[in-house]
Chain A
Amino acid sequence: EVQLVETGGGLIQPGGSLRLSCSASGFAVSSKAMSWVRQSPVKGLEWLSIIYIGGSTNYADSVKGRFTISRDTSKNTVFLQMNSLRVEDTAVYYCAKDCTDGGCSNFFDSWGQGTVVTVSS
């Protein structure tokens, strides 16, 4: 059974940094593209970043240059390093796995439970 567990959220002041972790089980994070998606009442669901099987990455403009996605295959974990945090980064952060069904790609068929990030002074 596929399971994703996010950790690392919390309360942080503007300008600060946080590192989110997404621990995976039931599959290898090196075998599927993995994304981070956040959800807030203001912006709704917002895709942030993806790391592909080969290790290439992509980012939404809203986080490019501030957030970095990476993975540790030995720990079967994906990370999101978040720097220069802003009030508008306040959200629930989910990691999500690329879908497995034949022909399905860049949609997300498994999600973690989410971790809350609050950016406030």
Chain B
Amino acid sequence: EIVLTQSPATLSLSPGERATLSCRVSQSIDIYLAWYQQKPGQAPRLLIYDTSNRATGIPARFSGSGSGTDFTLTISSLEPEDFAIYYCQQRTNWPRTFGQGTKVEIK
């Protein structure tokens, strides 16, 4: 099973600041990684797929990069609605697996 390790566990930032979230994978998954956002009481929402493609309706302040085993989600300038938990997910191998999440909280 491919293991995804997200860091940091918590990121404390102010609105307007840049957020950089990391997802490291236990073996190469090429570019087949997605990022989701989850707010309390809600289901996850797909933000980015295949490392760098924004899903429909996702603002341009969200961007993804990386390949192989190291991936990054960047939020260029945090909006109040961006404070949430972010998860990465791989689709290269079965079972599909998720990271444990990074919480972006208001500083």
Residues on B with C-beta less than 8 A from A104 are 49-50, 53, 55
Q: Is B43 engaged at the interface, CB distance under 8 Å to the other chain?
A: yes
Min CB–CB distance B39 → chain A (angstroms): 12
Number of A-B contacts defined by CB within 8 Å: 60
Task: Flag if A105 contacts B53 (CB, 8 Å).
Answer: no
Q: Is B87 engaged at the interface, CB distance under 8 Å to the other chain?
A: yes
Task: Flag if B55 contacts A45 (CB, 8 Å).
Answer: no
Task: Flag if A44 contacts B100 (CB, 8 Å).
Answer: yes
* Total contacting residues, chain A, CB less than 8 A: 24
Task: Flag if B49 contacts A47 (CB, 8 Å).
Answer: no
Per the bound structure, the CA–CA distance linking A121 and B42 in Å amounts to 28
Binding site for A on B (CB under 8 A): 32, 34, 36, 42-46, 49-50, 53, 55-56, 87, 89, 91, 94-101
